[in-house]
Amino acid sequence: MNRNDIPQAIASGNTALGIEFGSTRIKAVLIGEDHTPLASGSHEWENSYENGIWTYSLEAVWAGLQESYRQLAAEVSKSYNVTLQTVGAIGFSGMMHGYIAVDKDGKLLAPFRTWRNTITGQAAAQLTERFQFNIPQRWSIAHLYQAILNKEAHVKEISFLTTLAGYVHWQLTGQKVSGIGEASGMFPIDSTINDYDAHMVGLFNNLLDAEEMPYKLLDILPKVLVAGENAGALTTQGAKLLDPTGQLQVGIPLCPPEGDAGTGMVATNSVAERTGNVSAGTSVFAMIVLEKAFSKLYPEIDMVTTPTGKPVAMVHSNNCTSDINAWVDLFHEFTEALGVKIDQSRLFEMLYQQALTGEADAGGLLAYNYFSGEHITHLEEGRPLFVRTPESRFTLANFMRVHLFSSLGAMRIGLDILFVDEQVEIDQILGHGGFFKTKEVGQKMMAAAMKVPVSVMETAGEGGAWGIALLAAYMAHNMGHKADDEPLEAYLTNKVFAGEDGTTIVPDPVDVEGFETFMERYKAGLVIEKTAVQALK
């Protein structure tokens, strides 16, 4: 977009605004007609632990929202000499799951319970068994049922149950709605009708009747909307909540509020069937868009949807780069003890590159990177381990390679359920996160582990605020081209990511075979990790 055209585009509202409530930062991004960011603002925040609950206060929600918007508007004024008064469309995103329950007067009935709370084990287990569908502890329905089982007084007064993004959207528009990806983290979705699963709704209503609740489930859940649908407009009250200065105009259309999983898929162009993205940093998780739902229940895999309602399998591993980072820190200590000054990022790059020269299977070495437990391998706690036999080839290259392999070991066990048990086929994975920072290395290891081409795009770091801004722009496009009805997948590929610079690495057969050999060793050695957890208290 020509910089001289930007002020006029902003003044006339040829823009889209996305705001995402992350776990440590609220970020606002304004994008232009070419979908590139024009301005941004952010606000740091932290959850608090109060009376056994991880929560954020509503005061912190509004203060953070207003500050991130204020910063964005100030950047628009400074950079383009324009006062921000309107945008083409707005979208809100946030941490998925959790529990925000309000009464008929809109009053909060209990402190906001975030996804981080693990206080719903009884409810999650009972609902998983009843539905024959995996209900993780962090899901909204697990929080609701646990509150009912706990005989919490407020549950009979619930008029609306929603998530953080859904709550903010409701306050700004008056609309009790949710994007389908966000809704899929509240209650199971039937992707054939793009709505809550009717059979499971009936099963839950039976539980509500047994507890003599004065409502049915659909009375209190938000209405489900898919990407591209209009989800209401900014009210007078909503405009003041977002911009207390009074500059922002009312009537701006909003897209359905979405969860951070959905905006991550959009920001990496991973919403089409047979595509997926993998985020690899402190933890690692893969989101794979399925062609059809699974044949049975798998407790190791979470089922959600894309913002258009396609089923998505999420394989999540708690541990990825923490252990290898600790080893690099040790090597850094060694270089400093020698009196050698080397930049830490340069050391990372050099050590990661060493892994490419190691033996395909890492020379018979074995490592477990478990700083914490892993549900995929059924461990409540973790003990980082490095193990070798007298016959192992203990070289620096093999040492680095086995730690990179280990970073992906637990996730690979979950992925085998997809690729082996369910015969899921994918064409390409988009990688993002610190694991991919050193050119080619992380991509080659991930391609070997997943047996599919792995791409890294330059825009992958733009994040969820950009993703929800794209969904707002897509809705505005649909409103202006009603006869067009362009699918989200085509819109992203043709209008957002066309000509995108990126690199793709296809699996090397030698690397694939080496990783398979490593995985046999990894699975056989899990008894060592379990023994270490028991022995090293």
What is the 3-class SS of 249-289, one letter each residue?
CCCCEECCCEEHHHHHHHHCCCCCCCEEEEEECCCEEEEEE
| Stretch 49-60: mean pLDDT | 94
| Stretch 476-501: mean pLDDT | 84
* Residue 283 falls inside a structural domain: no
Q: Is residue 384 scored above 60 in pLDDT? A: yes
Amino acid, single-letter form, for residue 340: V
Q: In this predicted structure, what is the pLDDT of residue 23?
A: 86
Q: In this predicted structure, what is the pLDDT of residue 370?
A: 94
- CA angle 342–345–350, rounded 5-degree value: 75
* Residue 222 falls inside a structural domain: no
* Residue 195 falls inside a structural domain: no
Q: Which domain holds residue 382?
A: 322-407+509-535
Q: In this predicted structure, what is the pLDDT of residue 459?
A: 67
Rounded to 10 degrees, what is the CA torsion of 321, 322, 325, 330? -150
Which tokens go with 438? 């050193």
Residues 133-191: tens digit of each pLDDT: 999 999 999 999 999 999 999 999 999 999 999 999 999 999 999 999 999 999 999 99
The contacts of residue 269 (CB under 8 Å, 6+ apart) are 275, 430, 457, 492, 493, 496, 497, 500
* Residue 200 falls inside a structural domain: no
Scored b (16 or more CB within 10 A) or e, 496-514 reads bbeeeeeeebebeeebeeb
* Residue 377 falls inside a structural domain: yes
Mean pLDDT lowest for which of 79-88, 333-342, 356-365, 367-376?
A: 367-376
Q: In this predicted structure, what is the pLDDT of residue 502?
A: 83
The β-bridge relationship of strands 258-259 and 275-280 is: unpaired
Q: Is residue 460 scored above 70 in pLDDT? A: no
Percentage, residues of the chain above pLDDT 70: 98
Q: Is residue 312 scored above 60 in pLDDT? A: yes
Q: For the chain, how many structural domains are there in total?
A: 1
> pLDDT-derived band of residue 463, with 50, 70 and 90 as boundaries?
confident
Which tokens go with 263? 């905006």
Q: Is residue 234 scored above 60 in pLDDT? A: yes
Structural contact between residues 233 and 252, judged by C-beta atoms closer than 8 angstroms: yes
* Residue 330 falls inside a structural domain: yes
Average pLDDT, the chain: 94
* Rounded (10°) angle between helices 396-407 and 441-450: 60
> pLDDT-derived band of residue 4, with 50, 70 and 90 as boundaries?
confident
Structural contact between residues 246 and 66, judged by C-beta atoms closer than 8 angstroms: no
Structural contact between residues 135 and 143, judged by C-beta atoms closer than 8 angstroms: no
Give strand pairing partners of 91: 18
Q: In this predicted structure, what is the pLDDT of residue 105?
A: 96
Task: Please classify residue 420 by burial: count the beta carbons closer than 10 Å to its beta carbon, then call 0-12 exposed, 13-18 middle and 19+ buried.
Answer: exposed
Q: Is residue 483 scored above 60 in pLDDT? A: no
* Residue 528 falls inside a structural domain: yes
Which pTM was predicted? 0.87
Residue with tokens 């070991």: 409
Residues 243-271: tens digit of each pLDDT: 999 999 999 999 999 999 899 899 989 99
Number of residues assigned to the chain: 537
Residues 24-36: tens digit of each pLDDT: 899 999 999 999 9
Structural contact between residues 162 and 118, judged by C-beta atoms closer than 8 angstroms: no
Q: Is residue 10 scored above 70 in pLDDT? A: yes
Which tokens go with 293? 């739902």
Residues 385-437: tens digit of each pLDDT: 999 999 999 999 999 999 999 999 999 999 999 999 999 999 889 988 888 88
Task: Give CA separation, 315 vs 156, 299, 409, 417, 418, in Å.
Answer: 35, 10, 12, 10, 9
- Alpha-carbon distance of 484 to 475, in angstroms, equals 12
- Alpha-carbon distance of 233 to 251, in angstroms, equals 5
Amino acid, single-letter form, for residue 265: M
Task: Give CA separation, 409 vs 152, 171, 314, 402, 525, in Å.
Answer: 41, 43, 16, 10, 12
Q: In this predicted structure, what is the pLDDT of residue 395?
A: 98
- Alpha-carbon distance of 55 to 426, in angstroms, equals 37
Structural contact between residues 7 and 82, judged by C-beta atoms closer than 8 angstroms: yes
φ, ψ of residue 70 in degrees (nearest 5): -60, -45
* Residue 448 falls inside a structural domain: no
Q: In this predicted structure, what is the pLDDT of residue 283?
A: 84
